Structure 1
Amino acid sequence: MRILPKSKSKKSKQPTKSILDRSVGQKPGSLTISAEALAPRLFLMSFNEQMHEAREFTDYEALLQEFKQTPEARHWIDVRGYGSVALLEQIMKDFHIHPLQMEDVINDYQRPKLEEDHNRLFIVSRMVQFTPDHKIDDDQLSIFTGPNYVITFQSDYEDCLEPLRDRIKAGKGAIRKKSAIYLAYAIMDVVLDHYFPAMAQLGEYAEELEDCLFLKPSKQLLSQILDLKREVVKIRRIVWPERDKISEILRMDEQLIPQDLKIYFKDIYDHAVQLMDLVDNYKETTSSLTDLYLSNVSNRMNEVMKVLTIISTIFIPLSFIVGLYGMNFSRENPKGGINPLNMPELYQPYGYVTLLGVMTVIVSGMVYYFYRKGWLTNQ
C-alpha cells in the first residue's frame, strides 16, 4: 500500500482565526466582524401540527413580520453569515439577546457550552466533518431558544441540518407537536449524529496508516501519524465539553427542561459518552501507531546491522589470513642461508590455490554455522 497522499480540499478553519480578529482591550460585547464574513442569509421555518412554511428572506423586517403573524406556531429562524453588524444588533434588540452572547456568536471558536438567561437558553455546538485531506473541520452553531422559537447562527451557508429540515417538512416524528425546546434538542441530536461518520472515517484512515507502517515506514508516514494525532486531540477538545453541556441540561429545572423531554437529552448524552469512548480509543491507537513506527524503524535498523555484522564476521578471519601473508619476512638470511620457518608455503607451486581453498572452506563453514543458528533468516 502506498503512503496516503494529502489531497486538496477547502482550507480548514484555524482555531485562532476569530481570536486574532479581535481587538485587544475592546469593550465587552463589541461586535467585530471579520473582513471574510459572509453576507447574511435569512431563513424562517414556521410549523405546527397543521401547517409548515419555509422560505428565505432578503429583508429582515419581512421575516420579523411573518414571525409575528403566527404566534401559535413554532419558528426556526436560521441566520447564515455574520457580514452585517446592523442586522445582528437588530436581532439582539428584537429577541433580547445579551451583547456578550452575540459576541460569542461572532467570535466563532467557542467551546460547546450552555448559558441560561431569563428562561431562555444559549447553546453552542460544533458541527464536524472529516475532510478529504484527513483533517477535522468544525464550524460553530449557536442556538437561542425562546417561548415559541429557536434562532440559529452559523458562519457558513452549508450545514449538516438538512435531514432535520426534511423531517420537519415531512411531519415525521413528534417534532411538529412539541415545544421549541424539543426543536433545540433535535438540532443538537443531528449535529451529534454527524460526529459518528467523521469518527468512522478517522478510524479507517488510522487503519490505512497502520497497514502502510508494515510495508514501508518513512518520515512522511510519521508526519501523517502525528497530524492524525493532533486531529484526535482536537476532536477530543470538542466532544468533552459537549458531554458536559448535555449533562448540565439534564440538571436544569423542569421549568426550563420539562421532565418528559429530559429522556431525549439523556439519549444524546449517551451518544456523547460513546463518542468519548471512541475518541479515547483513537487516541490510544494513534499513540500505538507512533510506537509501531519507531519499533519498525528499529527492527529494520537491526536487520541492516545484522547483515553488516555477518559480513564483517565472515571477513574477520579472511582479513587475518591476508594480513598474515602480507608480512614481508625474508626467506634468505644475510649469510645466504634459508630460514625454513619464514612462510615456506609461499614457494610451493600450489600455495596460492591452497590458500584460496582454505579461505573458501572457512567462509562456507561460517555461513553454514550461521544458517543452523537461524541468523540468516527472520526467525
Structure 2
Amino acid sequence: MTFNQLNIIQPILNAIETAGYTQPSEIQERSIPTILNGNDMIGCAQTGTGKTAAFAIPIIQLMHQAPKKTKAIRTLVLTPTRELAVQINENFNLYKGNLRLSNIAIYGGVRQQGQVKALNRGVDILIATPGRLIDLIEQGYVRLNEVEILVLDEADRMLDMGFVNDIKKLLKYIPKKRQTLFFSATMPNKIKTFAKTILKQPKEVIVSPISSTTESVTQTVYMVENKKKEELLIEILRGQKLKRSLVFTQTKHGADKLMKTLNKIGVKTGAIHGNKSQNARQSALEDFKSKRITVLIATDIASRGIDIDDLSFVVNYEMPNVPETYVHRIGRTGRGGNFGEAVSFCSRDEKNELRDIQKLIGFKIPINPNTSCAFHLG
C-alpha cells in the first residue's frame, strides 16, 4: 500500500514525498483511516514504527478540512518529555507542508516568555508536557475549551512517570465531546483500564507486541563485572572505529561520569538526562545528529525523544530494571529498513534482569566471549 491509497489530501502527500517516504508503516496504514473517520483510538506499536506520523498526518488533514477563524487551540497532544514534544512538533512541521496551520511545543526547563508569545498569536495544534501546560493554564495563558482532538502519546511512559493525576486534572479543562487518541508502546492492564475511562468506543490498532524485538537488530550480551565496564566500552567503541553510538545508563550521575571518562581519552561524547537543561539536551542531541560528537549517553527518561535515521549501534551499559525498556532502548537502531547492532553489558548482580528480558523477548541473547573483561554466567 502507498500513502496515495489512504485518502490523504495532495498537499500532505507532497510533504510526505518531500520527506522521502513512499509507503506507510503498519501503524500508519491502519491508524490514518481510523482517525480520519473520527473514531477514538487506542494505538499500540513498538518504538520506531512511525506512531507520530500515524496521528500527525490525519490530524493535519482534519484541521485543514474544517478550518475555524478563532485562535483557539483545536488539537492538544500530551507527551511526557521535552524531547518528545520537540520531536512531535517537528513532525507536524514536516507533514503540514505549506498548509496554513499553526503548531507549537511547550515544555518546562526553559523560560515561558517565548511560549506565551506564541500562544497569544493563536495556535491550532498544541504539543505539551503536562506540568508546563497546567502551569500556563493556571496563569491564564491557555484555554482548552475548544479542543476537538486530544492525543495522549507514550501513555505508558506518562503513567510510569506519575503524570496520571496531571492528566485527570487537564481533562477537566477539555470538552467531553472530542476525539481522543491514545498511543502507547506497551499495553499492560493498568493502561487499558485508564484508556477506557477517557475514550468512547475506541477502535484498537495493535501492531508488533512489545515483547518482540525487531529482526533488523543484531543482539549480543557481554558478561562483565561493573568495574570492568568502562574498559570494555572503550574496547568496543574503538573496535567499531568510533562510529556513532548511543549508550544507555541507569542514572544521571553514571551518564555524566562516563561522559567525562570518554572525553578524557579523546572520544567526543555528550549526555542527556533529566538534570540537564532543555538547551543543553537539545544541543547534545543536535551535536549527535550532525556527527559533531561520536557517542551520546542517555538515561531512559530522556531517550524517547532520540530519533536518529541512520543510528546503527546501541549499548546497554547497564541492564534496565524493566524488561520492556530493553525493547525501547534497542528500538533506537534498526529503523526504516536499516540494520543495527545492540550490545548489552551484564554484571553478576544484573543476571536476573537479563533473564527477565530473555523471558519477555522469547529467546536467549547470544553471549559474546571475545573480550578480556568477561566472566561466565552461572
Common fold by TM > 0.5: no
TM-score (ref. length: structure 2): 0.24
TM-score (ref. length: structure 1): 0.24
If you compute each CA radius of gyration, which structure gives the higher value, 1 or 2?
1
Higher percent of residues as helix: 1
Which one scores higher on RCO, CA 8 angstroms, separation ≥ 6?
2
